[in-house]
Amino acid sequence: MKVRVRFAPSPTGGLHLGGVRTVLYNYLFARHHGGDFVLRIEDTDQNRFVEGAEQYIMDCLKWCGLEPDESPLKGGPYTPYRQSERKPLYKDYAEQLIDSGYAYIAFDTPEELEKMRAEYRRDDNTNPQYDHFTRGLMRNSLTLPAETVAELVEKGTPYVVRIKMPENETVTLTDMIRGEISFDSSLVDDKVLLKADGMPTYHLAVVVDDYLMKITHAFRGEEWLPSAPVHVLLWQYMGWKEHMPQWAHLPLILKPDGNGKLSKRDGDRLGFPVFAMNWFDPKTGETTKGFREMGFLPQAFVNMLAMLGWNPGVEKELFSLDELVQIFSMERVHKGGAKFNFEKAKWFNHQYIQHTDNAVLAEMVKPYIVKELGDGNMEIGKLEKVVGLIKDRCHLLTDFWEQGHFFFATPEIKELAVIKDKWNDQKQQFFTTWQSKLELLTDWNHDALEASCNELAVECGLKKGDVMLPLRIMLVGGKYGPGVFAIAEVIGKEETIKRIKFVTR
């Protein structure tokens, strides 16, 4: 049977690291087995719907290079791929469950539900659920006479359909990562399957659609584990048990200190992104930073995520997407949560920056430089040389401006005192003479510049070290950067002389 997997997000906001990792593991598994990767938008909860979130999710997948084979945009054999557009088909399945006694109709109003929760508050102070115990006290098709139910429905009284969870049954499922997991059915509430507006809830829709779309493997975050017994029973009650996908519940991505799930707030607090790309929330008007805008290469981001919860079984840590496809297996995914480490994420990015061809890297860095310079006429050949000179100092694409701004704009000399403290007539003479020599230099390149500098230093009775630091500060503005002659070569004769003159005039 052809492997078919799905990523089934609800379009409610930014795409968290954990979500992208779910996409990635689905993608790798599908490609490894020559299967299909489906993107299904689970937008049945109208209250949580956020404008723009679906497009954003698709853009994130595109940026990561993890594009689905079937999606709302691409279409496919099981269209539509947006659950809101599939609304009419779920009702029949809900009715089938009612007819077979596995589900029932409930008329309770929000006030009645509230009253029940208050009245039957448990000793441990947790709210009672709508379950095998309380259902008998509520207004539903199990407690009301059939004629009353028919009458209420006839009159258009709003109702929901709930699953009738069995009492004292052990529901088991075999998880590809965790092995066999058992649940006590008595502890699970009678989840709503179909809402009063006729929309299914996630529980009904996920089972119906995984069945109709012939999904063979369902991988999702560990936070969905408590819902699993409901889903297993629904597969069984619908008579589809032999078609049930194999499950894998992926471990959580934890805060850097390992204490709990990594949240957007941790990112804000600790200064790193948790979303794949910048997310603008239309409800709050706030923008949350993403890995892309922070200057991550998508390949590095994907490689880092692959290792967050999965172990390749070898020492190596750097893998291209194709290599990951070759070696990925769900059995090597850890059971325990994976701590997120931003320094390690930056290490991955640094490695990818090192190994990216300068011409390709220059195109990636260009928007960051253009943004700072406010000038779109950046010469790409020059940028290519610059990235080659400074890439070993950069962990993020945003670092290129900080490490290389002086190639594009005359720097402010922040360390003038360092030069002036040790300034003397000899140095003044050296630099003024060198300026005139530079005016006449015909081969403007690193080696010629170095030779001319060394020669003159000897003539002036100076050591090389005496002139290098002042020269660096003149050209860069501070005590950092790549080799000074390489810098001079790139910025050119006129600019080099101008920067020296600024100090010697």
- What residues act catalytically? 264
3-state secondary structure of 219: strand
Is residue 222 near ligand GLU by the rule CB under 6 A? no
Is residue 49 near ligand GLU by the rule CB under 6 A? no
**Side-chain half-sphere CA neighbours of 14 within 13 A:** 25
Binding ligand GLU by CB under 6 A: which of 206, 230, 476, 487? 206
Binding ligand GLU by CB under 6 A: which of 139, 203, 220, 350? 220
Cβ-based nearer residue to ligand GLU, 210 or 384: 210
* Closest CB 206 distance from ligand GLU, rounded Å: 5
Give strand pairing partners of 286. 281
* Closest CB 245 distance from ligand GLU, rounded Å: 10
Strand pairing report for 246-250 and 279-281: unpaired
The DSSP call for residue 6 is: E
Only one of the segments 2-10, 96-104, 287-295, 454-462 lies at the binding site for ligand GLU (rule: CB under 6 A); that segment is 2-10
How far is Cα 26 from Cα 36, in angstroms, rounded to an integer?
A: 9
For 70, left (φ over 0), alpha (ψ -120 to 50), or beta? beta
Is residue 9 near ligand GLU by the rule CB under 6 A? yes
Cβ-based nearer residue to ligand GLU, 8 or 244: 8
Is residue 249 near ligand GLU by the rule CB under 6 A? no
The Cα angle at residue 273 between residues 349 and 224, in degrees rounded to 5? 110
> With the CA atoms of 342, 344, 349 and 352 taken in that order, what torsion angle do they form, in degrees rounded to the nearest 10?
-170
How far is Cα 172 from Cα 164, in angstroms, rounded to an integer?
A: 17
Is residue 60 near ligand GLU by the rule CB under 6 A? no
* Closest CB 9 distance from ligand GLU, rounded Å: 5
Q: Which residue is nearest to ligand GLU (CB)?
A: 220
Stretch 421-450 residues interacting with ligand GLU (CB under 6 A) = none
* Closest CB 193 distance from ligand GLU, rounded Å: 15
What's the token pair of residue 51? 């404008």
Which residues does 263 contact at the CB level (< 8 Å), separation at least 6? 255, 274
Cβ-based nearer residue to ligand GLU, 44 or 299: 44
Binding ligand GLU by CB under 6 A: which of 8, 297, 300, 345? 8
Is residue 209 near ligand GLU by the rule CB under 6 A? no
Q: What is the DSSP string of 146-200?
A: HHHHHHHHHTT---EEEE-PPSS-EEEEEETTTEEEEEEGGGS---EEE-TTS-B
Cβ-based nearer residue to ligand GLU, 42 or 489: 42
Cβ-based nearer residue to ligand GLU, 224 or 423: 224
- Give how far the C-alpha of residue 485 lies from the chain's centroid of Cα atoms, to the nearest Å: 41
Closest CA to 202 of 350, 64, 42, 353: 42
Only one of the segments 3-11, 283-291, 304-312, 346-354 lies at the binding site for ligand GLU (rule: CB under 6 A); that segment is 3-11
3-state secondary structure of 78: coil
* Closest CB 36 distance from ligand GLU, rounded Å: 16
Is residue 201 near ligand GLU by the rule CB under 6 A? no
Residue 280 belongs to what H/E stretch? strand 279-281
Spell out, one character per residue from 26 to 45, where the chain touches ligand GLU: x when CB under 6 A holds, - when not. ----------------x---
Cβ-based nearer residue to ligand GLU, 57 or 449: 57
How far is Cα 51 from Cα 63, in angstroms, rounded to an integer?
A: 20
Only one of the segments 4-12, 125-133, 174-182, 351-359 lies at the binding site for ligand GLU (rule: CB under 6 A); that segment is 4-12
Cβ-based nearer residue to ligand GLU, 44 or 140: 44
Cβ-based nearer residue to ligand GLU, 9 or 404: 9
Q: How far from each other are the two terminal CA atoms of the chain, in whole angstroms?
A: 80
Closest CA to 318 of 339, 292, 347, 290: 347
Is residue 202 near ligand GLU by the rule CB under 6 A? yes
Binding ligand GLU by CB under 6 A: which of 4, 5, 10, 160? 10
Is residue 229 near ligand GLU by the rule CB under 6 A? no
How far is Cα 126 from Cα 119, in angstroms, rounded to an integer?
A: 12
How far is Cα 133 from Cα 236, in angstroms, rounded to an integer?
A: 23
Only one of the segments 7-15, 128-136, 236-244, 428-436 lies at the binding site for ligand GLU (rule: CB under 6 A); that segment is 7-15
Is residue 14 near ligand GLU by the rule CB under 6 A? no
Binding ligand GLU by CB under 6 A: which of 49, 78, 224, 423? 224
Whose structure tokens read 């809101």? 84
Residue 105 belongs to what H/E stretch? strand 103-106
* Closest CB 292 distance from ligand GLU, rounded Å: 21
Binding site for ligand GLU (CB under 6 A): 8-10, 42, 202, 206, 220, 224
